[in-house]
Amino acid sequence: MKKFVLLMVVVCLVAPALFAGGAAESKPELDLKGKPYVPVIALGFQHQFWQAVKMGADQAAADYDVVITFEGPEAETMIDKQVDMMKTALGKNPVAIGMAAIDPESVRLDLEAAKARGVKVVGFDSGVGDMADVHCSTDNYVAGGIAGKHAAELLGGKGQIGIISFSQTLIDSKQRVDGFIDAVKQYPDIKIVDVQYGDGDHLKSADIAKGMLVAFPKIDMFYANNEGSIVGAYNGVREVGKIGKILLVGFDSSKALKDAIRDGEIAGAVTQDPVGMGYKTVEAAVKLYKGESVPKVIDTGAYWYDKTNMDEAHIAPLLYD
């Protein structure tokens, strides 16, 4: 009997704490206040790029007087978690949804069912493939061309370039390479000596840079088309003592990349406009809901930055850590 009483006391003490913990983890009910609802679901959430996208989405929500939620999984590989987020959002009767799908096929059935109910679908960044009514993203071919133009100018129209890309198959990566190559083709004295792929990994990209310098000792420049690739290339060039002798042109942003550009050790890079991407995604969603005409593809912009302009008002907000 004493054991039974003791057990009941423990249960009474512990149970409220357990229930309180569950309540603390649950999300509050969404208060729409009679406004249209537009969930925005990203590839991830924690990286500063996605926080900048959220900033733009929040501003558009305020300007267009709609309610949004913005979320994404902790890692950009969590397909199941992202699918769960989308299902929950679609269960709250949105008028439109913005989505950057990790795996478009994983969300196809749900999005097609939502579209059949009249929900508008806006893909952003990686998008949702052919399910999107509108797609908002960087024109990566144009962005690659911006990098190529500045690279050619930095070389004075002649020299050898090695390219380190983050993927041979992803369309974003391919377009950033194609745009770059087509831009430098206008300079007959510039030669692309090699293109290799390092998965955006710092260590792999560093090893590729060092290997290229052995195979092509007259390389004057590396172009690397995402943050991991350019920081890796920078590390590789530093390890062989050629910072200042080899020009480096990159893509995206991070603290390490910004610091190296500010110090003049990386010549410059192209940044996307994540704030504009978030804004235009929500803006397009609202316009579709209202029946307004919207272009099928919306370019959210890309800009060159270096140590001379990275603190300017139109560039600084686009550079994230």
Is the pLDDT at 224 greater than 80, yes or no?
yes
SS3 67: strand
By the 8 A CB rule, do 290 and 36 touch?
Answer: no
- Please state the rounded mean pLDDT for residues 138-143: 95
Domains of the chain: 37-138+274-301 (3.40.50.2300), 140-271 (3.40.50.2300)
For residue range 111-124, what is the model confidence (pLDDT) as tens digits? 999 999 999 999 99
More confident residue, 137 or 7: 137
| pLDDT of residue 172 exceeding 90 | no
What are the pLDDT digits (tens) for 144-158?
999 999 999 999 999
For the entire predicted model, the pTM comes to: 0.78
Could you tell me the pLDDT band of residue 28, with boundaries at 50, 70 and 90?
A: low
At 21 the pLDDT is 36
Q: What percent of the chain has pLDDT over 70?
A: 91
Q: What is the DSSP annotation of 230-292?
A: HHHHHHHHHHTT-BTTBEEEEES--HHHHHHHHTTSS-EEEEE-HHHHHHHHHHHHHHHHTT-
